[in-house]
Structures are given as structure tokens and as C-alpha cells.
A and B are shown apart, each in its own frame.
Chain A
Amino acid sequence: MREQSKYIKDIRTVSYYSGYITLVTSMLMLIPILTSLLSAEYNVVLDFVISITIALSTGIILIIFGQRASKKLEWKHGLIVASLSWVILMILCAIPYYLSGNTNSFLDAAFDVMSGFTTTGLVLTQNLDHLSLGLNMWRHMLTFVGGQGMVVLALTFLVKDTVGAYKMYVGEGKDIELVPNVKNTAKIIWTISMVYLTIGTLILWIDGMLIGLKPDSSLSHGLFIFMSTWSTGGFAPMSQNILYYHSFSYEIITLILFIIGSLNFGLHYAVWQGKKKEVLKNIEVQSFFITVTLTAFFIVLSLSKLSVYPNAVALFRKGVYSLLSAHTTTGVGTLYARQFALEWGDFSVLMLIIAMLIGGSACSTAGGFKGLRVGVVFKGIIADIRKMLGSERRIKIYKFHYIKDQVLEDGMVKSAAFIIICYMILFTIGTALGTYYGYPALSAAFEAASVTGNVGLSIGITTPTMPSLMKIYYIIAMYLGRLEFISVFVLIGFIFGGVKRLCLRYSRH
């Protein structure tokens, strides 16, 4: 009996904090409400009023249920709050999509929300070119906030218990402490993003007008595209994505934005404090530089061998651009999805798959294995080989540089390898599922890699007519990939623990 009341207490604590995060994130719906009011899109205003009232009510109910609980957060609470909040918010944030009529089902709406939160960028919403400004604002905002993290958002407003706050922060897939206080770390992350928001939107606005957009649309497109590229999301206000603009200058700006956006927040902070050398010494940057240059080299070689593009500039604007979009796990593009399958040839598609799986930097908005893990595992293997070859009496310490000089410990290499294995399993199941439904193997692998690495490039599989089971699997894969498994595993364990207790209770009567 005592075990059961402990379990209920746990649920209350989780409920309280999940409710809090739900509440704070729901307040964001005020922004699309304002946008639609200013644009005289009154039906959309109603959609969001309905949604925000449901969302706020849910948050408050969760808080009320947890009001009596202990506010002390243990590790399991922190991790479960993070993973559970994402599920609750996925459902709540899908309501405006569903009410707009642009999604074929609630599942499609939930898919697009999860795609936004995880900064993936795959889209099931229809009729993008006629979407309301309010809904477009919402889509791009979701990817911007999801990139930073909803927990991070909520933590910036948290007034008490910062000891437990760190545990929720880690649950969302981050662990870097910019400053000892996690609340201040969250604030710094937001400051960095807001500074770039201002600068990035401004540059896109100006260039947009130079390429022929009207001032008002250039501003809204600039804001949306900034949010999508900085968060390495992949959404765009028009159905042709970046191809709509037919502009090299616009593409270059997005390129700079999404590469910077894929970098670790710790790196930004270090550089902003004046430690410019961090950019060159950091193991992730080195890993990224090497893997990008290698994959780019092979793709350019292969594409030019097949004469896919008429000149070198076109090759850069299509080939290298797509590669960088894939490797940073952004997912914006200037090609129609089917062109990868029809024109690129298997080798280049394979290079893209590898790039998508490796992904970007840890503790950033990017997805994939993360450069840090690839670097650590690689160095770990080299260290092991050296140990075998070297004298058995010498003990050599291997180091790497990540914000500060660190020792390459076995435990670190093991955890990094473990997570990489989880990603590989997720990827393999996704590929198998695609082939089960009849899609060609390489295409199934491409889409699975895009989902697992939260990339967003599509080879044409992701459409509203896709089998529902695949949609559900992709949602789960995007979610697991983004939160980096642990917090979701703990959530599942917690739920199963509760179910087990429930079954035991009933079996006794």
C-alpha cells in the first residue's frame, strides 16, 4: 500500500511540473492570435482561442492535481516531466492545425506538430500556399521553440527549485551548463537565439526585397525562414520551400543561418565571451568539418560523374546545399522530393543518408548521432588501438577538447556508443517498415534517416496517403531521436511500473 501511495505522489509531482510547462508553452498561442487579428483572419483567431483555452485548462488541471505533491524533483521526475510534456503538448498544439481544415486527420496534425517540435521539418499539412498567416506563424514558432526546448522555455520563468530544474533540462536532451545555474543557462540560450532572430530576420528581409518580394511579405517570410533555419527545422511558408525564391543570395543566407544554428549553444556562448579559438579546437566542430567535407567531396564527385547538373554553380546550389541541409539536419531544400530518387543516383543518396545520421552538434537544435559522439567514439577507438600497440607498462591519458579540455574516459565512450546504437536501431526499424509497405529499400532508408536524424528532407514517402502505421512510427522516431532516448525510456518504465501495480492490485481481490 505504501508503495502505491508513493507512486501516486510521483504522479502528482510529475503532473505539477508537466502542467507548468504546458501552461507556459500554451501562452505562446497568443502570438498567432495576435498575428491573425492584425491580418483580419478571424476564423483563425477563433481556432486559436479554442485551442488556447483547451491547452490552458489542461495545464491548470494538471497543476491542481499536483498541487499537494512534494515539489522536490528526483531524476526520474525530471526526465518524465520532459518526455511527458512533449506528448501532452503535441496533442494540444495539433488542435489549431486540425481546426484549420488543412490537415486530412488529427494524426496528420499531430505529425506536423511533432515534426515542428523536434525540428524535423517533414510536412503533411496540405495547401501550404494558401495557409493563413496565423497558422504559418504557429508552424514556424513551434519549430523555433522546439529547437530551444519547451522545458528551456518554461525554465526561464521558473521562480523556485532550480535544483530539480536541471533534471528536467537533461530530460529534454541537453546537458550543457553554460553557467552553474540552469535558469540562467536557459536565459542565455534564449538571449543567443533572440539576438540572431533580430539579425537574421533583418538580413533576410532586406535580401528578400532585393530579390523582388514586397516589404510586408519579405518581412513575414524572413521571420518564418529565420525561425526554420536557425532551429534547423525545415519548414517554409511556401510549398516549394526555398526553391520558391529562385535566388542564390537568399540560399546563401539560409545556408549561413542553418550552419550557425546547428552549432552547440556552449560554443556560441564561449565565442561570445571572447574565446574565439574554441571554434577551431572544439572536437565537434572538427568532426563536423571532416564529415561535411568528406561527404561533400563524394557527392560532388558522383553528381558530376553522372552529369546531373549543367554547371558547377548549379552543382553547388543543389548538391552541396542539399548535403549541408542534410548534415546539419535542417531539411530546407531547393529540389522536389522525388528528384533525389530520380536524378541523384544511389551513391549520392547513400552519402546523404550517412550525413543525415551523423547529424549536427550536441546541445543544439540539430539531430542525428551528433558530432560529439562520433568524435568521442572515433577517438576512443584510436586510443584503444594505440594502447594495444604501445608498451603495457605505460598508462597514457587521452584527451579531447569540448569547451574545455577533458579526459577521454571509457565510460564516456561507452555512453556515446550506446546512444549511437539506439539511433541505428531506430533507423533500421524505420527502413524495414518502409520496405514492408513496398517502398524501395534506399528510399525507405532515406526517409527513415531523415526521421531518425530529425532532418526533414523527403524522397517522396511522407505524404498524407502514407500508411497510418508509418506515420505513427515516424512520430515516435522523431520524438525518441530528439529527446535522445533516455527520458522516454524512463517514461515508459514509469508507466509500465504503474500498470504492473494496477494488475497486482486487481489480482489480489
Chain B
Amino acid sequence: MLDYKKIIKGVFSEITYVGVFIVILYAVNMVIAR
């Protein structure tokens, strides 16, 4: 069901998605804040 390759790939994609989300929020922050 779960092997090392899948786990590493899974963790990597989750961190990436969350990272992108944070960058989006950061961008929103930078644009609105004076």
C-alpha cells in the first residue's frame, strides 16, 4: 500500500502545495499592507 518512494513523493507534494498557499497569502499581504 505504502512504500518509501510513494511516501517521499507524497510528503514532498504536500509541503509544496502548502508552501504555494503560504506564498499566495504572503503576496496578498504585501499588496494590501501599506
A–B in direct contact per CB < 8 Å: yes
Q: How far is the CA of A300 from the CA of B33 in the complex (A)?
A: 6
CB distance from A193 to the nearest CB of B (A): 12
Q: How far is the CA of A289 from the CA of B21 in the complex (A)?
A: 8
Are the C-beta atoms of B29 and A296 separated by less than 8 Å? yes
- Asked if A276 CB lies within 8 Å of chain B CBs, one says yes
Q: How far is the CA of A427 from the CA of B32 in the complex (A)?
A: 32
- With contacts A191-B2, A199-B11, A271-B10 taken as known, whether A279 is within 8 angstroms of B29 at the C-beta atoms is no
Q: How far is the CA of A489 from the CA of B33 in the complex (A)?
A: 46
- Asked if A496 CB lies within 8 Å of chain B CBs, one says no
Are the C-beta atoms of A196 and B11 separated by less than 8 Å? yes
Are the C-beta atoms of A195 and B7 separated by less than 8 Å? yes
Are the C-beta atoms of B18 and A293 separated by less than 8 Å? no
Chain B residue at smallest Cβ distance from A298: B32
CB distance from B10 to the nearest CB of A (A): 3
Are the C-beta atoms of A312 and B10 separated by less than 8 Å? no
- With contacts A268-B10, A272-B7, A273-B6 taken as known, whether A260 is within 8 angstroms of B15 at the C-beta atoms is yes
Residues in chain B near residue A297, CB distance under 8 A: 28, 32
Q: How far is the CA of A179 from the CA of B7 in the complex (A)?
A: 17
Are the C-beta atoms of B14 and A315 separated by less than 8 Å? no
- Asked if A40 CB lies within 8 Å of chain B CBs, one says no
Residues in chain B near residue A274, CB distance under 8 A: 6, 9-10
Are the C-beta atoms of B28 and A304 separated by less than 8 Å? no
- Asked if A252 CB lies within 8 Å of chain B CBs, one says yes
Q: How far is the CA of A195 from the CA of B10 in the complex (A)?
A: 11
Out of B1, B6, B9, B28, name the residue touching A296 (CB < 8 Å): B28
Are the C-beta atoms of A272 and B10 separated by less than 8 Å? yes
Residues in chain A near residue B24, CB distance under 8 A: 293
- Asked if A62 CB lies within 8 Å of chain B CBs, one says no
Residues in chain B near residue A315, CB distance under 8 A: 29, 33
CB distance from B16 to the nearest CB of A (A): 10
CB distance from A366 to the nearest CB of B (A): 14
Are the C-beta atoms of A272 and B29 separated by less than 8 Å? no
Out of A179, A195, A259, A311, name the residue touching B18 (CB < 8 Å): A259
Q: How far is the CA of A195 from the CA of B5 in the complex (A)?
A: 13
A-B contact count (CB 8 A): 80
Chain B residue at smallest Cβ distance from A258: B18
Residues in chain A near residue B15, CB distance under 8 A: 256, 260
Are the C-beta atoms of A320 and B18 separated by less than 8 Å? no
Per DSSP, are chain B's interface residues mostly helix, strand or loop, or mixed?
Answer: helix
Q: How far is the CA of A312 from the CA of B34 in the complex (A)?
A: 7
CB distance from A43 to the nearest CB of B (A): 40
CB distance from A494 to the nearest CB of B (A): 37
Are the C-beta atoms of B19 and A256 separated by less than 8 Å? yes
CB distance from B25 to the nearest CB of A (A): 6
> Which of B9, B18, B24 has most chain A Cβ within 10 Å?
B18
Q: How far is the CA of A324 from the CA of B24 in the complex (A)?
A: 13
- Asked if A301 CB lies within 8 Å of chain B CBs, one says yes
Are the C-beta atoms of B11 and A195 separated by less than 8 Å? yes
- Asked if A292 CB lies within 8 Å of chain B CBs, one says yes
- Asked if A316 CB lies within 8 Å of chain B CBs, one says yes
Hey, what's the 0/1 contact readout for A350-385 against B, CB within 8 Å counting as 1? 000000000000000000000000000000000000
Q: How far is the CA of A457 from the CA of B33 in the complex (A)?
A: 24
Give the residues from 315 to 370 in chain A that come closer than 8 angstroms, CB to CB, to chain B.
315-316, 319-320, 324
Q: How far is the CA of A316 from the CA of B31 in the complex (A)?
A: 11
Residues in chain A near residue B30, CB distance under 8 A: 312, 316
Residues in chain A near residue B14, CB distance under 8 A: 260, 263, 268, 271, 279
> Which of A196, A259, A263 has most chain B Cβ within 10 Å?
A259
Residues in chain B near residue A179, CB distance under 8 A: 1
Q: How far is the CA of A196 from the CA of B11 in the complex (A)?
A: 8
Q: How far is the CA of A263 from the CA of B11 in the complex (A)?
A: 13
Out of B9, B10, B11, B29, name the residue touching A300 (CB < 8 Å): B29
Residues in chain A near residue B9, CB distance under 8 A: 272, 274
- With contacts A301-B32, A315-B33 taken as known, whether A276 is within 8 angstroms of B11 at the C-beta atoms is no
CB distance from B8 to the nearest CB of A (A): 9
Residues in chain B near residue A478, CB distance under 8 A: none
CB distance from A470 to the nearest CB of B (A): 34
Are the C-beta atoms of A304 and B25 separated by less than 8 Å? no
Q: How far is the CA of A276 from the CA of B10 in the complex (A)?
A: 8
Q: How far is the CA of A293 from the CA of B21 in the complex (A)?
A: 10
Out of A188, A259, A292, A312, name the residue touching B2 (CB < 8 Å): A188
Are the C-beta atoms of B34 and A304 separated by less than 8 Å? yes
- Asked if A255 CB lies within 8 Å of chain B CBs, one says yes
Are the C-beta atoms of B29 and A312 separated by less than 8 Å? yes
Are the C-beta atoms of A312 and B17 separated by less than 8 Å? no
B residues at A contact (CB < 8 Å): 1-2, 6-7, 9-11, 13-15, 17-19, 21-22, 24-26, 28-30, 32-34
Closest 7 CB pairs of A and B: A272-B10, A312-B33, A304-B33, A316-B29, A315-B33, A300-B32, A259-B18
Q: A256-B22, A271-B10, A304-B32 are in contact. List 10 more A-B contacts (CB 8 A).
A: A191-B2, A195-B7, A252-B22, A259-B22, A272-B7, A274-B10, A304-B33, A309-B33, A315-B33, A316-B29
